[in-house]
Amino acid sequence: MFKPEKMSKVRITVAKKHYLEALAALQDTGAMQIDPLDEKARGMLGNAENSTYKSIADYAQRFRALERQLVPKPPKGKISFSSIEDLEKEADSIDIDKKVSELSTSIEHIDARRKSLDGIARICSSLEWFGHDLAILNGRSLGSFVMSGKDLQEAENELKALHDKVYIMHDKNNTSAIATVRRGSEKDFSRAVSHLQKLYVDSVPELSGTPKEILASTAKEARKLSQDRAALEGRLNAISDAYFDRVSAIREGFDIERGKIEVLTRMGATGSAVVMEGWVPSEKLKKLRSLLERITDGMVLVETLHTKELPPTKMSNPVTFKLFEFFVRFYSLPKSDEIDPTVMFAIAFPIFFGFMVGDFGYGAVMLLGSLWLLNRLKHPKQHSRLPKKLTSFVHMIVSDNGLRILAKSIIPGSIIAMALGIVFNEYFGFQLPYTALFNVELGLPTLLVIAGWIGVFMVSFGYVLGILNKLAIGEKKEAFGKVGWLMAAWGFVIFGLNILHKAVLGPSNPMAVLSYVLLIAGIALIAFIEKIGSLMELPSLISHILSYTRLVGILLASVILAEVIDFIFLHAWHHSILLGLVGTLILIVGQLFNIVIAMFEPGIQGARLIYVEFFSKFYSGNGREFTPFASSRKRTVGKFSLDVEREGQVAPHRH
């Protein structure tokens, strides 16, 4: 739980006649990351090739195009294919390509024509005041444009200089105008009006009839096109009902087969065997070896290689804490030989967040907001009442999955905020008629002491983890360097406590002597192991401990701001109804503003305290992620599983 999964470097040598079956097992189980063979091995071995690549790629391309043209349907169940031959036989039985292509092309043509009609209707709608045949507006020597918008009058003024090249007519209300331009003068016209941002210009197409007549005919044609499109969609939908499930499963099957062949570029081969190397989670190695031996009739050799190469990282955390892997990855993926701090982040972040919010009302709003957002993401609405610009802006910053993670991560912190709100007797800054177990403002000195000791604990714990991590990977010298930093930290802490308590700083005070010993010994260790230059970081050691007092600062700022808003609201009603209404508006806007601050500031500062003041003591990151050779199956069933009881329990092949 506190370390990434242990990995083993393996080499698999499998008989050539069984290698595709072995690859299928690796792909279905996702148990191995296949790495390219090193240069030396490549020089000794030939390339592992497969002559069926082009055929499989063609099938995959054909069914991907066919799937895009069909109407998506939810899966009725997963389909299994016993072999590549079975998959190809099923693919050859599908003969709807021509019919689907014709229907899709017809629908595209209708859509293009409807778009053209919409443009014609838009132009004619703005020209209903023009009661003449539009054919007179275009010819060999003339072309016409329709203009509209707030800059219409300014456009007419700009075009007066082109009176010999441009003739303008406009309606009585001056909402639109026709600019008839001599052929060859179009560039002059465009230059004259191009700087007007609130002017809309459309070219009048070559049409016959008055605008009203054309509008009537386009409306009739549009209705006919809609009927034709509905009929075509009905036929396409019927085909999709019958075939989409199979087409999608076949496409997925060929994509998986193509993945097997593409990975061959990382392997080597002899005349009778195929060789691959990569990483396998150690706990899966025994089961994987057993599976490969069984499906290849024992014609496989799985060797564990001894290497100094750092394995890739596969994080392994309980489901309860897995959510917070996102935040650790955001900082940096851990190396496979160092401590995974996910659990520590999952515990510390909600506590820091809830402490800094410290209000029952704000915590309740955040909890309900998070639950609403999770429900909205799970059940999205087609027509949202939220402004489109707001939702577009949010999605530009973070994806739906990111929003889901953020909402879930806020829930435990908001619950802690509600609990502390009861302790502090803080409800949107108001106090209920009971005595607070702890008053934030009156207990400020105590809160600062608590925050200080939290800082001491987090910094010390970080150095302890750093020591353990260095010892675990055999870097004993570096571990002693961490011991030096830990001693220096406690030397500063004890010395600071002596000053705060106004204790004697001479030899008569054992605690003062202890602080000197720890400081001198710690600084000496740091200078010896990490060189003199590293002593420049000593001031940051003190600042990192004191930095945790921001927990109290943000809490106090939120409480005081809420109380000021509430004070204005209550006293406004004592003067007049008008001021009371203004005070109510200030209360609503102010509390909303404070809630936004209470959500973002504790979140940012809580994560910062962990990233900077805690992680920096033991965590380096920059790990290489474990990327197994695996298939993503949504429509098909795999043949192999490391769990023998589950293997073979597949859905029947449906036709």
Same domain, 398 and 519: yes
**N-to-C CA span, the chain:** 45
- Kind of pairing between the strands at 199-203 and 142-149: antiparallel
**Residue 9 maps to a domain:** no
Q: Are 257 and 87 in contact (CB under 8 A)?
A: yes
Same domain, 205 and 231: no
Query: Per-residue pLDDT for 650 more than 50?
Result: no
What is the CB neighbour count within 10 angstroms for residue 430? 15
Q: Which three-class secondary structure state does DSSP give residue 163? A: coil
Query: Per-residue pLDDT for 404 more than 60?
Result: yes
| Confidence class for position 394, pLDDT limits 50, 70, 90 | low
Q: Among 216, 233, 267, where does a domain finish?
A: 216
Amino acid sitting at position 109: H
Output the average pLDDT for the chain.
89
| Confidence class for position 265, pLDDT limits 50, 70, 90 | confident
Closest to 598 (Cα-Cα) out of 429, 423, 389, 424: 429
Inter-axis angle of helices 97-125 and 53-69, nearest 10: 40
The label of the residue with tokens 């829930």 reads 411
The domain total for the chain is: 3
Same domain, 348 and 453: yes
Q: What is the pTM of this model?
A: 0.78
Supply 136's token pair: 């007179």
Same domain, 130 and 238: no
CA 324/CA 343 separation, integer angstroms: 8
CA 65/CA 284 separation, integer angstroms: 38
Query: Per-residue pLDDT for 645 more than 50?
Result: no
CA 523/CA 464 separation, integer angstroms: 17
**Residue 409 maps to a domain:** yes
**Residue 12 maps to a domain:** no
Query: Per-residue pLDDT for 178 more than 70?
Result: yes
Q: Are 225 and 110 in contact (CB under 8 A)?
A: yes
Question: What pLDDT score was predicted for residue 653?
Answer: 43
Same domain, 339 and 375: yes
The label of the residue with tokens 């294919």 reads 81
Question: What pLDDT score was predicted for residue 655?
Answer: 41
Strands (E), 542-649: none
Dump pLDDT digits (tens) for 288-344: 999 999 999 999 999 999 988 999 999 989 888 999 999 999 999 999 989 999 999
Dump pLDDT digits (tens) for 444-495: 999 999 999 999 999 999 999 999 999 988 899 999 999 999 999 999 999 9
For every residue of 196-236, DSSP letters joined together read: -TTEEEEEPP---S-HHHHHHHHHHHHHHHHHHHHHHHHHH
The enclosing domain of 165 has a CATH number of 3.30.70.1150
**Residue 196 maps to a domain:** yes
Same domain, 110 and 34: yes
| Confidence class for position 386, pLDDT limits 50, 70, 90 | low
| Confidence class for position 282, pLDDT limits 50, 70, 90 | very high
Dump pLDDT digits (tens) for 100-141: 999 999 999 999 999 999 999 999 998 888 889 999 999 889
Strand partners, 167: 180
Same domain, 332 and 359: yes
| Confidence class for position 425, pLDDT limits 50, 70, 90 | very high
The torsion angles phi and psi of 284, rounded to 5 degrees, stand at: -95, -5
| Confidence class for position 46, pLDDT limits 50, 70, 90 | low
Dump pLDDT digits (tens) for 543-553: 999 999 999 99
Q: Which three-class secondary structure state does DSSP give residue 294? A: helix
Dump pLDDT digits (tens) for 507-542: 889 999 999 999 999 999 999 898 888 888 888 889
Strand partners, 168: 179
Q: Are 586 and 296 in contact (CB under 8 A)?
A: no
Q: Which structural domain range is residue 73 located in?
A: 20-120+217-310+626-655
Same domain, 238 and 354: no
Same domain, 399 and 426: yes
Question: What pLDDT score was predicted for residue 584?
Answer: 92
Same domain, 466 and 484: yes
Supply 11's token pair: 């080499």
Q: Are 278 and 35 in contact (CB under 8 A)?
A: yes
Q: Among 216, 242, 268, where does a domain finish?
A: 216
Portion of the chain with pLDDT greater than 70, in percent: 94
Question: What pLDDT score was predicted for residue 562?
Answer: 92
Q: Among 156, 191, 216, where does a domain finish?
A: 216
What is the CB neighbour count within 10 angstroms for residue 23? 26
Query: Per-residue pLDDT for 644 more than 80?
Result: no
CA 554/CA 141 separation, integer angstroms: 74
Same domain, 256 and 161: no
Same domain, 457 and 425: yes
Question: What pLDDT score was predicted for residue 643?
Answer: 80
Supply 468's token pair: 């353990």
Stretch 142-161: mean pLDDT, rounded? 89
**Residue 292 maps to a domain:** yes
Strand partners, 148: 176, 200
